[in-house]
Amino acid sequence: MLGHDVSAAAARAGHDVISLSRRELDIRDAAAVAATVDTARPNAVVNCAAWTDVDGAESAERAATAVNGAGAGNVAAATAAAGAFLVHVSSDYVFDGSARKPYVESAATAPVGAYGRSKLAGELAVADAAPGAHAIVRSSWLFGEHGGNFVATMLRLARERDALTVVDDQVGCPTFTGQLATALVAIAERRLPGIHHVAGGGSCSWYDLAAAAFAATGAAVELKRGSTAELGRPARRPAYSVLRSERPDTPVLPPWQDGLHAYLELGVTA
C-alpha cells in the first residue's frame, strides 16, 4: 500500500524509481539486498517492506522480527555501503500507549506486543548499520488506495450489515498513505537524519474514523461504540498512540479528515 504511493510520489517529483516487490527482493536475504542496492547505486532508499500482521506477530515473533528487525538492518547496511540515504518506516506501536499527551521523537519507547518489539528492533538495526545516513519515520493507522485498510473494511461492512460496533478506546492519528508518501520523498530528498514523527494531523478513535467515513459516503448503517477488551484480539494495542513532531524540519501532514477525504475521492470501494 505505502510502497505504491511512494513510487508514484517519487516519480512525480522527477526521480528515477526502482520499485521491488517481495517476490523480486526478500529483505531477509542480506546478500540479495546488498547485490540489488549495489547494482542500482541509488541516491536514496525508502524501505516500505514490513510484516504488518499485528495479531499474527504474537505467535510468530521470530518471523516478524526477521522482516521488521533483521531485514531492516539488511537494507540499512546495503544502503550505507552504497553511500545512499535510507528512509525507514516505523510505527506508533513502539510506544506503550500510556501517555496522555502526544508522543514526540524523544519519548521513551516501550512496546507492549511482538509487532511493536519487532519494529523497535528494526529502528535499532537501522541506526547501527547506517549511522548518520538514515531517517526513521514513525507513522500510524495507515490507509490508502493500494491495500486493505480499516476505512475500506468499514465501508465494505457497511454495505453488508445493518449495524457495526467499533472500538472507541484506542486513540491515534489516521494517516493517508498518499500524503505520507510525499513526506517520505521530501525527507529522502533533503536527507534529514534521525527520527521523525509524520502522521495525520489531529487525533481520533477508530469509532470516530468509521463515523467520519460513513458520514462522508452517506453509509446507512447503525454505528455502536465498543471496547478493545470486547474484541479479544491476541495482541495488545496502545490505547493512546498520538504522534507529533518536536522537530522544525519534519514535514507536517494535513488533518486526518483531509486525508480521509482525499482517499475517498479516489473512489475506493473495497
Provide the 10 A C-beta neighbour count for residue 125.
22
Contact 191, 184 (CB under 8 A): no
Rounded to 10 degrees, the C-alpha dihedral 140/89/156/170 comes to -20
DSSP annotation of 240: B
Per the annotation, the verdict on 103 as an active-site residue is no
The C-alpha atoms of residue 13 and residue 104 are separated, in whole angstroms, by 28
Contact (CB, 8 A) for 87 and 184? yes
Give the up-direction half-sphere exposure of residue 17: CA atoms within 13 A in the CB hemisphere: 19
- Active-site hit among 93, 115, 207, 263: 115
Map residue 139 onto helix, strand or coil.
strand
At residue 265's C-alpha, the angle toward residues 261 and 268, to 5°, is: 105
Give me the active site residues, please: 115
